[in-house]
Structure 1
Amino acid sequence: MKVLLVEDDSPLAEALTEALQEAGVLIERVARGDEADFLVRTEVYDAVILDLGLPDGDGNRWLAQWREDGIDLPVLVLTARTRWADKAAGFSAGADDYVTKPFETAEVLFRLRALVRRSHGHAHPVLRIGKLTFDTHTGSLTLAGRPVGLTAQESRLFAYLAHAAPRVVSRSELAEHVYDRDHEPDSNVIDVQISRLRRKLGAEHIETLRGQGYRLIGGESS
């Protein structure tokens, strides 16, 4: 999961970034709405965490403009405003969910994962693809009931394929969503990591479609 954090409170942004990175989330941070506006129009993210009290304008103003321009990625609003009228304004501007400060980092993580999961059309937090079972909350993966250990990068790669299944995912899409913007890999790196996943899951669970990309398949259910 690749997330843009828009927060001008440096200590809060640093603490949240560290906690989410420890949970395997790729985070890019900005402190202003104009910086966020540029990035959501030029880069690819799975979600945005948006503070409302920004130095260059209310976050709702930026959010409303994104929605008007057809930018529909999930947005989780952070704010110290507690009145219902303020929350209603956020939802009216196009927010998908709302967290009031102070908050538990775990709550932000759970809400983010739920937003991303639902954006892919999954209501349940546990994704089942044939013999494969992936818990989006814990990041745990089992194959026919047997736990499968993944590295952090393998877990991000698998999670994106699982959310997209049975759709084919191109190499460029994987690079945009699974890797840091400043360290996007070439196709050979992705091929190598897909090969490692295949060794752990079995070759039959990841299909390569020449010239198109990869598709996660579950194999025959037991």
Structure 2
Amino acid sequence: MSAREEILRRIDGIVPARPAADVAADYARVDRGYARRHHEDGVLDLLAERVADYRATVLRASEADLPRVIAERLAARPGAYGVPSGLPDEWLADVPAELVRDPAVADLDGLAGAVTGCAAAIAETGTIVLDHGAGQGPRALSLVPDYHLIIVRAAQVAPDVPEALERLDPSRPLTMVSGPSATSDIELSRVEGVHGPRTLEVVIAE
């Protein structure tokens, strides 16, 4: 027996054994008497306001007008754009730019940006959640390109955090987006684009 194994054996003899975790029972015991929703009306307006507070560009459009709005935003930035499988083809029908479906990780740095959908959005916090399912692509697609255009449908917007979390699958790889990537680690000087896209634009489809 090695010294390491001997130490661990002694620790095991001192620390009492813990009963097996009962996740369902533990979850059921959580007190949920807190306020679950702070807003009933104006949820889309609140989301737009909070997302803009994070220095993201927010646009509002009808579902029918989405192709035109997306085409205009991409035309303003020449180059190829990464788009994931599952993003509705009709959204991209008017896009003049080159579209790269499911780009390889090695090609992401050469893209002008990425266009994705989302899994949910939280009006109270201005947070958009991606679970990287259909229409969202892998996490790298939302982090490597310098520009990210996210389409949020009205039905995906939850007023507050508890309701949003109930819509999400905790086993999925969740990415929570609150504005463009930014840090103030060095002398409290804000620098954008360090850990993700420098520019974030959000289209809320009503």
| Rg larger for | 2
> Higher helix fraction: Structure 1 or Structure 2?
1
- TM-score normalised per structure 2: 0.32
* TM-score (norm. length: structure 1): 0.31
- Which one scores higher on RCO, CA 8 angstroms, separation ≥ 6? 2
